[in-house]
Amino acid sequence: MNFWEEKYQQNETGWERGHINPAFHHWDQFEHMTPGRVLIPGCGRSPEVAEFAKLGWQVTAVDMAASAIDYQHNACAEQTNKVKLIETDLLNWQPSELFDLVYEQTCLCALAPELWAKYEACLASWVKPGGTVAALFMQTGNAGGPPYHCDLDAMAALFHNDHWDWPQQEPVVSEHPRGIHELGFCLTRK
Ligand SMILES: C[S@@+](CC[C@H](N)C(=O)[O-])C[C@H]1O[C@@H](n2cnc3c(N)ncnc32)[C@H](O)[C@@H]1O
């Protein structure tokens, strides 16, 4: 059994808020954009999968943990025509069609930092030119993980200028009941 499947089976899912991430509502562009194709990598049991579908997006949600995918099958039972659920290792996956938007909610921080360059290359290959990666960078301030601290200088080097335009605006701050927070940035694929 993989690490994450064990977490779900043992109900050790302290990262879950139990409600939509405040950044999702802050980025109300999701509600006003013409809905297109959105990818949610490492979707877990997050309610944003069903929420995007309710807003009219065609959602692809991927996770390697069977429990997470089973959960989403039930949570999205009324939106099966809008939601495609895939149980696989993201780092060895390629979609048949590119996405307008990737909603990166704490999948990066779940991966060991030595895998981050590979994950960034995946993100760059999954999103259309001009498309967006809405990224929530975990701030724990601690060494080790998961969740791994996503230092902003390290993020700037990882999501580099060859692939990404960074926004001018200040990041969205999403507080978490565990006393940590995420910093949200909408990056544009060049
Ligand atoms: C910290 S949890 C976040 C879950 C969800 N995004 C949320 O906000 O509740 C990380 C998720 O990424 C998934 N994951 C980690 N590594 C993965 C990989 N290589 N391929 C697919 N899923 C992965 C885990 O199974 C887990 O559901």
DSSP string, 125-139: HHEEEEEEEEEEEEE
Which positions of the chain have pLDDT values less than 50?
Answer: none
Check if 20 has its Cβ closer than 6 Å to any atom of ligand 1. Answer: no
Task: Identify which of 24, 64, 87, 122 to mutate to test ligand 1's pocket (most ligand atoms within 8 A of the CB).
Answer: 64
Helices (H), 129-175: 152-158
Range of the domain at 141: 22-189
Check if 43 has its Cβ closer than 6 Å to any atom of ligand 1. Answer: yes
- Asked if 168 contacts 186 with a C-beta cutoff of 8 angstroms, the reply is no
Check if 4 has its Cβ closer than 6 Å to any atom of ligand 1. Answer: yes
Helix (H, G, I), strand (E, B) or coil at 152: helix
Could you tell me the sign of the dihedral formed by the alpha carbons of 146, 175, 166, 126, in that order? Answer: positive
Distance 97 CA to ligand 1 centre (A): 22
pTM: 0.97
pLDDT of residue 102: 98
Number of domains within the chain:
1
pLDDT of residue 126: 98
Helix (H, G, I), strand (E, B) or coil at 164: strand
- Evaluate whether residue 138 is within a structural domain: yes
pLDDT of residue 71: 98
Distance 117 CA to ligand 1 centre (A): 17
pLDDT of residue 141: 94
Task: Identify which of 102, 107, 139 to mutate to test ligand 1's pocket (most ligand atoms within 8 A of the CB).
Answer: 107
Q: Report the CATH number that the domain containing residue 96 is assigned in CATH.
A: 3.40.50.150
- Evaluate whether residue 185 is within a structural domain: yes
Task: Identify which of 17, 46, 63, 119 to mutate to test ligand 1's pocket (most ligand atoms within 8 A of the CB).
Answer: 63
pLDDT of residue 178: 86
- Evaluate whether residue 1 is within a structural domain: no
